[in-house]
Amino acid sequence: MAYKILLAEDDIQLSDMYKHKFELEGFEVRSAGDGQIAIDQLETFAPDLVLLDIMMPRVNGLEVLKNIRQNPKKKDMLVVMLTNLGNETTSEEIYKLGATDYIVKADMTPLEVVNKVKEILKIYKK
């Protein structure tokens, strides 16, 4: 059974690279180009993990995370934040809002992101 990922990333090239790498590794991937689309997709798609960019148009990733955590049916969903903001304040806010983990995009290749997601799924989806 393939793991399902919702990838919410507004950078089209980066989104395409991540999507391609995840699909090569056997994941089923749905993409969302902004936070509102991610929220809408979560109404009909139940991913094993949401990979969520912070800086997105319409609704930012932190608001999407709040939305997920406030929904009783989705509150336990695995959410990994994608950011280029690698400072301590950002990481504290991410965890305070209930993110499972976060990835600094500039520090990792798409394959390293896939491997990090695999590690997280291995821990939480035993």
- Domains of the chain by start residue, with CATH: 10-103 (3.40.50.2300)
- CA-closest candidate to residue 61, choices 27, 28, 29, 85: 85
Is the model's pLDDT at 116 over the cut of 90?
Answer: yes
- Residue 39 has which token pair? 């929220």
Question: How confident is residue 61, by pLDDT bands cut at 50, 70 and 90?
Answer: very high
Contacts of 72 (CB under 8 A, 6+ apart): none
- The model's pLDDT over 72-84, given as tens digits with 9 standing for 90+, comes to 999 999 999 998 8
Average pLDDT over every residue of 100-124? 93
Average pLDDT, the chain: 92
Q: What is the pLDDT of residue 1?
A: 65
The letter for the amino acid at 46 is: A
- CA-closest candidate to residue 110, choices 40, 9, 33: 9
- CA-closest candidate to residue 15, choices 28, 2, 33: 33
Question: How confident is residue 106, by pLDDT bands cut at 50, 70 and 90?
Answer: confident
- The model's pLDDT over 84-100, given as tens digits with 9 standing for 90+, comes to 876 666 778 888 999 99
Q: What is the pLDDT of residue 89?
A: 62
Q: What is the pLDDT of residue 86?
A: 64
Question: How confident is residue 114, by pLDDT bands cut at 50, 70 and 90?
Answer: very high
Q: What is the pLDDT of residue 122?
A: 94
- Its pTM stands at 0.92
Strands 28-32 and 4-8 come out as parallel
